[in-house]
Structure 1
Amino acid sequence: EGVANIRNEDRIPELPADLVVELAATFTAEGVRLVCPGPLPPPVAAFLRLVGHSEALAFGAAERQDPGLLAEAIRALPLPIPEAAAWKLAALAREREFP
């Protein structure tokens, strides 16, 4: 038993189909059996949509090596991160050349 990261498609209907989700899974010789959760409470679904959007921005920032887009990704997190801190984190990532 473990977890699998997989494109959502319709496994969690409250989340976008193209979002990568982490689901509980069982691995056997026959393959992978995913365990989909039941309906998400609306506040949980809203939180996960925001995190997913932030992760998509962060991926784009890494692809383009764009510190401005990385700062936007950090600001998109559903956390109280001050604007200056977001830019400082983006600058630190730039110094490390997006590992």
Structure 2
Amino acid sequence: MDQLSPWERAHLAAIESTYPGWRIVVQNGWWWASKHVPPSPEQKAAGVLSEFARPGPYELVAALTVQLGILARGARPDGRRGGLCRRIPGHRPPPKGYSAGTGA
């Protein structure tokens, strides 16, 4: 790991605690994230990456947030669909074309 400034060490610690499923390292100026558990074939097909690099901590957090979104919507490690959300009994999805927060 490169010699990190106090600012970079603080960001690294915050990212590691926020994204515990990923190993975070800084190498040659690039911020790397590697999944502790490799994605399943279903997760890979949905777009989950096993590792990636970004030029800084803010870009890495943005990419990790995208990865969590894919995991929340997509395939789970057990191969079932639905991500982190469960269907609420009796709840109906909004009608097609509905857009929340449009002010209309």
| TM-score normalized with structure 2 length | 0.29
Q: Which has the higher strand share?
A: 1
| TM-score normalized with structure 1 length | 0.30
Q: Which has the higher helix share?
A: 1
